[in-house]
Chains A and B, each alone.
Chain A
Amino acid sequence: MSVRVVAVLVAVLLVAVFPMLAGNYPVKLLQEILVWGVFAMSLDLLMGFAGMVSFGHSAFFGVGGYVAALALTRWGAGGVNGLVLPALAAAVAALVIGYCSIRVSGVYFIMLTLAFSQMFYAVTFQVDWLGAEDGIVGVPRPRLVGVELGPSAFHLYLVAVTLLATLALWRIVCSPFGHVLRGIHDNEGRMQAIGYPVDRYKLVAFVIAGTVAGVAGALYAQLAGSITPDAFLWTTSGEALLMAIIGGTGTLGGALLGAAAFILLQSLVSSYTERWMLLLGLTFIVFVLMLPGGIVGALRGRIGFRA
């Protein structure tokens, strides 16, 4: 086993046993990092690998969250309702939105995806049986094989789903499919000329990313115990984008790191000052201007670290 594999295994183990080592608040932060990390990684698959910058990724996060909240509160707290149904719903949403959006690229793609996610926001904000602007509260944690998850079991469940999502995404970007996506990112016209059905590849990438985002949204609804229309807001996509960029796009691991940096900074800064957003904006501006490779890029340059 290489050093890298051992390091990853140790990290996973540490994350899994973290509740035995730390108090409630750090554990809560870690769980948030996991959920947002999955969301940011799914966006990185689109942005960092396929080169499709979407400002509407929150649509799938929200669909996953709402379907999980609806299913768990109204149709029973089984694991299927908690994860499978939300993922399927997000996949369908991604198929429809993706089909309409991949016809355009660049800023047009940004604006279309953004508008689609805002459309969901508008609907959930005004439809009464989705709780209108208050959203859905009192979402129970799922029951797995008939057992209600206690705090530590729920933590392990979060870690396991995060790990599965990460491995799945990792497998995808390492596969021939992932390499085609990278090729499209680098030179779309050329990939087309070689004979790859570029649009179909983009659509599949969009649906995969949307499905994983839906899983993240479902986890979020279970972690927070509620979901509000804000999940659909385009700034939710923006935050995931921030995380992926701060961490370093096109690396997957960077998105996790970025989510950790974002959430830790937020909790640290907001305990000292109210000016969290100002600092966040500045941090982001500095990263885009000076560190386009994000944290991972900076680490790679310094110590030859590879994510």
Chain B
Amino acid sequence: MLLPDFFSQALNGLSYGVLLFLLSVGLTLIFGMLDIVNLAHGSFYMLGAYAGLTMIGLTGNFWLALVAAPLVVGAIGALMERSVLRPLYRRPPLDQVLLTFGFIYFFEDLVKWIWGGRIRSIPPPDVFSGSVKLGGATVPSYRLFVIVFGLVMAVLLWVVIDKTRLGSIIRAGVFDAEMTAGMGINTGRLFTGVFALGAALGGLSGVIAGPIQSAQPPMGASILIPALIVVVVGGLGSLKGSFVGSLIIGQAETFGKVWLPGASMMMIYAVMALVVLLRPQGLFGRPLK
């Protein structure tokens, strides 16, 4: 493989990786805090893409959609947490996981109902519609934007979660929600907030993915699997893990397609199996009980 090709594939993998990061960070935070795997997390990604599509249709402005769509999806997430997940907190966590499974069907069909089942593409913003030469490779400039945007978001999240008071409350909630409540934190509001934040980030990744992968109803169910694998590889509940895991899975998927086209779909599962066998708690997870 020539170096420029390698370079451009690595950039593809990186842009897919940061996309997975935006998605999996919500998944991992929600898991850490509420002890549930939100199987409907892919639905937030799908809802984000479609909300973005509508907003671009209405206003013609990608940037507006990039801001507004996550807010809409975040609100849907907050509503979902308040109305149906909250009454289940006293039941075994698995009941909540099963509930989120029901939402996959609900949201996917809702989107089909509102927007139809065909594939819709989201045009990239005008500024990033071209491509640039970089290290001998031609790279769509939108991909570069996605990479930079994703990395900026990662830094932003790290600052918020690691350096602010709000962040330390979130970390405390992830570590031990009951104890946090005991310290006088309103964990009810915290749970809703974190769920909404996770949903919004999922929605954001959906908008971002639009111009690369285009929008279609099954996108939510199919992105869920790589996102779950990222969380398993990185370690449940770990932010750093979801970042590193995303980058690894992004590259594994991309280079799997290049080097092993006949078995490319296996790649990410192979990576996961390896990690689970050698280190069951994931790269940065807390050791299992």
Residues of A within 8 A of B (CB): 53, 100, 103-104, 106-108, 110-112, 114-116, 118-119, 121-123, 125-127, 234-235, 238, 241-242, 245, 275-278, 280-282, 284-285, 288-289, 292
Contacts and interface: CB of A to CB of B under 8 A. Distances in A.
A278 B110 contact: yes
Contacts of B263: 122-123, 126
A292 B109 contact: no
Given A115-B229, A123-B266, A241 B87 contact: no
Given A103-B280, A118-B225, A281-B102, A111 B91 contact: no
A275 B107 CA distance: 11
A285 B99 contact: yes
A285 B31 contact: no
12 contacts: A104-B280, A106-B94, A107-B36, A108-B288, A115-B232, A115-B269, A238-B101, A277-B112, A281-B107, A281-B109, A284-B101, A284-B105
Nearest to B267: A122
Contact of B272 (A115, A241, A242, A277): A115
Contacts of A121: 265
B160 interface: no
A71 B146 CA distance: 49
Nearest to A109: B94
A238 to B, nearest CB: 6
Interface string B35-53: 1110000000000000000
A122 B263 CA distance: 8
A285 B228 CA distance: 22
A87 B165 CA distance: 57
Contact of B228 (A111, A282, A292): A111
B99 A289 contact: yes
Interface in B66-121: 84, 87-88, 91, 93-95, 97-99, 101-110, 112-113
B253 to A, nearest CB: 11
B84 A289 contact: yes
* B94, B102, B272, B273 — most chain A CB neighbours (10 Å): B102
Contacts of A115: 225, 228-229, 232, 269, 272-273
Contact of A107 (B93, B95, B108): B93
Contact of A289 (B88, B93, B94, B228): B88
Nearest to B231: A111
A235 B94 contact: no
Contacts of B109: 275-278, 281
Interface string B248-286: 000000000000001111100100110011001000000
Contacts of A125: 265
Given A122-B266, A281-B106, 9 more contacts: A108-B288, A115-B269, A118-B269, A122-B265, A234-B225, A235-B221, A242-B101, A276-B109, A277-B112
A284 B109 CA distance: 14
A245 B97 CA distance: 13
Given A115-B229, A118-B225, A107 B97 contact: yes
B97 A110 contact: yes
B236 interface: yes
A244 to B, nearest CB: 10
Nearest to A292: B95
A111 to B, nearest CB: 5
Nearest to A103: B280
The 6 closest A-B pairs by CB, nearest first: A281-B106, A281-B105, A122-B265, A284-B102, A277-B109, A278-B109
A282 B83 CA distance: 14
Given A284-B105, A285-B99, A107 B113 contact: no
Contacts of A241: 98, 101
B123 to A, nearest CB: 29
Nearest to B31: A107
Contacts of A110: 37, 94, 97
Nearest to B226: A118
A119 B266 contact: yes
A119 B274 CA distance: 13
A126 B87 CA distance: 43
Interface in B218-242: 221, 225, 228-229, 231-232, 236
A277 B106 CA distance: 6
B269 A107 contact: no
Given A126-B263, A234-B225, A281-B109, A245 B276 contact: no
B118 to A, nearest CB: 14
Contact of B37 (A107, A234, A285): A107
A168 to B, nearest CB: 26
A284 B105 CA distance: 9
Contact of B104 (A100, A281, A288): A281
Contacts of A292: 91, 95
A278 B262 contact: no
A60 B229 CA distance: 21
